[in-house]
Amino acid sequence: MKFRISEKYRLEIHWDKSIYDEDGVAKLEGCYLSGPAVKEVAQMNESDSIVLDFATQYVVFVKHYYVAKLSWKKVNHLLSKIYLSDVTLSNRYINSVPKLNDNDYIVIDTEDHEDDKHQINLSYKSYLIKSDGELYNFGSK
């Protein structure tokens, strides 16, 4: 599986540690957003969330449409990064798909979320990436 995202629309989610101590939830400690799209991100609300669409990558594990909700409590906008606190990634299948490694990251394609398109696109196309920058290809042997 391949994916292409224009650099302009690339937003990355990084974390220091992922913790799985609750069914359906992964806690992400030390979480921040980075990448070229950070400059375009509007002011984010505290205690908010977005929906990440991993359907094409996780179809091997989940027969249903796989989306996960990324939620946070606090936001700190800096010039090149947006730090998030009390972050969780939740989906009822999260404990039956491969766990996030601490050095993995998620790439979000924000192209469909500019002001004129955002209202009709309810989720963000997202991809889990290995620490070496390669896309996880769960379907290959």
Specify the pLDDT at position 102: 97
- Tell me the pLDDT band of 86, cut-offs 50, 70 and 90: very high
Choose among 22, 31, 33: nearest CA to 86: 31
Question: Tens of pLDDT along 38-52?
Answer: 988 888 999 999 999
- Tell me the pLDDT band of 1, cut-offs 50, 70 and 90: very low
The residue-averaged pLDDT of 86-98 equals 94
Residue 59 has pLDDT above 50, yes or no: yes
Domain boundaries, the chain: 7-129
Residue 141 has pLDDT above 50, yes or no: no
- Tell me the pLDDT band of 4, cut-offs 50, 70 and 90: confident
Tell me how far CA of residue 55 lies from CA of 2, 13, 31, in angstroms.
Answer: 14, 18, 23
| Structural tokens at position 28 | 């992400």
The residue-averaged pLDDT of 58-86 equals 91
Residue 88 has pLDDT above 70, yes or no: yes
3-state helix, strand, coil in the chain (%, to 5): 15, 40, 50
Q: State the alpha helices, DSSP H only, in 12-95.
A: 55-58
- State the DSSP string of 99-110: PPPTT-EEEEE-
The residue-averaged pLDDT of 13-22 equals 97
- Tell me the pLDDT band of 120, cut-offs 50, 70 and 90: low
In one letter, which amino acid is 63?
K
In one letter, which amino acid is 15?
W
